[in-house]
């Protein structure tokens, strides 16, 4: 956990998603609030990100934050999410609480939490890599190795390789466990496996994951956080990235509260 000091001397940027309703109005409001504190922030669209900042406000949904996180991880820029999407699991604020959030940040009532990321060739992911066969509508025969040793074979729609941050995303929907975000671990979750013995697997984050496909000339499709897609003909090797996402979190927030508030964790169905 890292704390920043002298926030008013930092170089800020506001990143917004023009495809999301109200994002333009919210970024204008945020810029005006910062100006009240004599802070002039640059403003960029999520599709035209650039370097040179120490703190970034990200306006949009979780997809917007994931894209920004992959970009800014390479320059160790802290990001703070303002949710305009549906779930907003990675966000810390909403449009109704922007002023309050800015005041907390400028008064150092927040901390930076570093989140581990995944790497496959030159691609990185904060949530997950998803591996599927290129033959649409058919299950794939996938072989999993860890540190070069055979672990198991899957007949499934695909595999999800997830970070703790991503364990509340696609992996959770596919039946995987929820991991606390500060754990040094990855989750391997089969998607619709055609066997009763295939179960999610939690492994240390220093291990090397290799996935190969049997009897397929079509190869793989690999997605990065569900946003970027790549075709592979050979084995896929996934490991922990040297980059880490830096999420700015308000001091009065915690992971378990987010689970309760946004995923209704442990809530009786009658109360949802």
CATH number at 133 reads 2.60.200.30
- Shared domain check, 233 and 127: yes
Report the C-alpha gap between 32 and 39 in whole angstroms.
9
Enter the pTM of the model.
Answer: 0.90
Q: Tell me what the mean pLDDT of segment 132-154 comes to.
A: 88
- The answer to whether residues 69 and 149 belong to one domain is no
What's the rounded mean pLDDT across residues 44-60? 95
Residue 261 has pLDDT above 70, yes or no: yes
Per-residue confidence (pLDDT) for residue 113, from 0 to 100:
94
Residue 265 lies in a domain: no
pLDDT at 146: 97
pLDDT for res 48: 94
Q: How many CB atoms lie within 10 A of CB 87?
A: 13
For residues 15 and 80, the answer to whether their CB atoms sit within 8 Å is no
Is residue 264's pLDDT more than 80? no
Does the pLDDT value for residue 1 go beyond 60? no
Residues 181 and 200 reside in one and the same domain: yes
Task: Note whether 96 and 141 are same-domain residues.
Answer: no
Model confidence at 139, pLDDT cuts 50, 70, 90, reads: confident
Flag whether 57 is in a domain: yes
When pLDDT is averaged across residues 154-170 and rounded to a whole number, the result is 94
Catalytic one of 42, 45, 47, 62: 62
CA 85 to CA 223: how far, in whole Å?
21
Q: Report the range of poorest mean pLDDT among 129-138, 188-197, 205-214, 256-265.
A: 256-265
249 in a structural domain? no
Residue 269 lies in a domain: no
Look at residue 257 and tell me if it is in a domain: no
The CATH number covering residue 61 comes to 3.40.50.10330
Helices (H) and strands (E) in the chain, counts: 5, 17
Separation between Cα atoms, residue 235 and residue 219, nearest integer Å: 9
CB of 213 within 8 A of CB of 190? no
User: What band does 103 get if pLDDT is binned at 50, 70 and 90?
Assistant: very high
**What residues make up the domain containing 144?**
119-241
pLDDT at 5: 60
Please count the CA atoms within 13 angstroms of the CA of 257 that sit on its side-chain side.
8
Q: Map tokens 């308000």 to a residue.
A: 250
Best CA proximity match to 180, nearest among 167, 190, 195, 192: 167
Select from 25, 199, 190, 7 the least CA-distant residue to 102. Answer: 7
Mean pLDDT of 54-60: 95
Examine the domain organization and report whether 98 and 126 are in the same domain. no
Task: Name residue 202's beta-bridge partners.
Answer: 187
Tell me if residue 40 falls in helix, strand or coil.
Answer: coil
Q: Is the dihedral of CA 90, 203, 159, 232 positive or negative?
A: positive
Q: Tell whether 139 and 64 lie within a shared domain.
A: no
| 168 and 210 inside one domain | yes
Report the pLDDT value the prediction gives residue 266, as an integer from 0 to 100. Answer: 66
Out of 1-15, 96-110, 163-177, 246-260, pick the least confident. 1-15
In a domain, 46, yes or no: yes
Of 81, 108, 135, the residue that ends a domain is: 108
Residue 122 has pLDDT above 80, yes or no: yes
For residue 163, pLDDT beyond 70:
yes
Q: Does any domain span residue 17?
A: yes
Cβ-based neighbours of 253, under 8 Å, separated by 6 or more = 92
Residue 209 Cα to chain centre, angstroms: 19
pLDDT at residue 2 is higher than 70: no
- pLDDT at residue 215 tops 70: no
47 is known as an active-site residue: no
- Nearest CA to 18 among 59, 69, 56, 63? 59
Instruction: For residue 234, name the pLDDT band (cuts at 50, 70, 90).
Output: confident
User: Rounded mean pLDDT of the chain?
Assistant: 89
Tell me: do 213 and 101 sit in the same domain.
Answer: no
Tell whether 230 is covered by a domain. yes
> How many structural domains are present in the chain?
2
């Amino acid at each position: 956990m890292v704390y920043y000091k002298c926030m008013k001397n930092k170089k800020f940027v506001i990143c917004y998603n023009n495809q999301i309703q109200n994002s333009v109005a919210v970024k204008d409001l945020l810029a005006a609030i910062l100006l009240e504190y004599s802070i002039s922030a640059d403003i960029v669209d999520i599709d035209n990100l650039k370097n040179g900042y120490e703190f970034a406000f990200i306006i949009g949904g979780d997809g917007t934050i994931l894209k920004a996180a992959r970009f800014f991880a390479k320059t160790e820029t802290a990001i703070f999410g303002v949710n305009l999407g549906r779930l907003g699991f990675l966000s810390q604020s909403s449009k109704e609480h922007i002023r309050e959030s800015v005041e907390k940040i400028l008064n150092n009532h927040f901390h930076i939490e570093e989140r581990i990321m995944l790497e496959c060739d030159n691609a990185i992911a904060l949530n997950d890599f998803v591996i599927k066969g290129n033959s649409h509508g058919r299950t794939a025969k996938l072989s999993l190795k860890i540190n070069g040793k055979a672990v198991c074979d899957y007949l499934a729609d695909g595999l999800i390789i997830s970070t703790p941050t991503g364990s509340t995303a696609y992996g959770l929907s596919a039946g995987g466990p929820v991991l606390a975000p500060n754990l040094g671990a990855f989750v391997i979750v089969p998607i619709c496996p055609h066997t009763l013995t295939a179960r999610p697997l939690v492994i240390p984050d220093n291990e090397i994951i290799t996935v190969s496909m049997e009897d397929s000339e079509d190869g793989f499709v690999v997605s990065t956080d569900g946003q970027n897609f790549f075709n592979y003909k050979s084995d896929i090797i996934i490991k922990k990235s040297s980059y880490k996402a830096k999420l700015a979190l308000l001091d009065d927030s915690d992971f378990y509260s987010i689970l309760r508030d946004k995923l209704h964790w442990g809530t009786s169905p009658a109360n949802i």
